[in-house]
């Protein structure tokens, strides 16, 4: 059985989004990624320590994380970051202060 790849994805300056979910497909050349069970970081707190913190420790108290949606296709992908187990747990808590 193939292990799920849980990632944080950022999009370019025109789209300006930060997303989390299970990576279904990533086309680096086309700059497109498809995520399953996706969430968006609307805002993250100082305690999260930036975008890399979202992948490393997950969204901390005071962050605003949107509810899970079944699937999303992202265009203008600039970065795909693997997440830690700790980060996955925090994302799934869907913090919205």
Q: What is the pLDDT of residues 1-44, one digit of tens each?
A: 668 999 999 999 888 899 999 999 999 999 999 999 999 999 99
Please state, as a whole number, how many other Cβ atoms lie within 10 Å of the Cβ of residue 16. Answer: 9
Residue (of 61, 68, 62) closest to 6 by Cα position: 68
- The pLDDT tens digits for 53-82 are 999 999 999 999 999 999 999 999 999 999
pTM above 0.85, yes or no: yes
Beta carbons of 1 and 17 less than 8 angstroms apart: no
Q: What is the rounded CA–CA span in Å between residue 87 and residue 53? A: 8
What's the confidence (pLDDT) of residue 17?
95
> Domain for residue 20, yes or no?
yes
CATH code assigned at 33:
2.30.30.100
Domains in the chain: how many in total? 1
**Within a domain: residue 1?**
no
Average pLDDT, the chain: 94
CB contact at 8 A, 48 and 54: yes
State yes or no: pLDDT of 96 exceeds 90: no
Question: 64 lies in which domain range?
Answer: 6-92
């Amino acid at each position: 059985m193939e292990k799920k790849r849980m990632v944080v994805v950022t999009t370019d300056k025109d789209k300006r989004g930060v997303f989390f979910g299970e990576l279904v497909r990533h086309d680096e050349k086309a700059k497109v990624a498809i995520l399953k069970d996706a969430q968006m970081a609307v805002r993250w707190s100082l305690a999260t320590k930036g975008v890399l913190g979202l992948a490393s420790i997950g969204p901390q108290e005071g962050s605003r994380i949107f509810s899970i949606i079944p699937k999303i296709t992202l265009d203008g992908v600039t970065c795909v970051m693997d997440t830690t187990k700790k980060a996955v747990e925090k994302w799934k808590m869907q913090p919205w202060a």
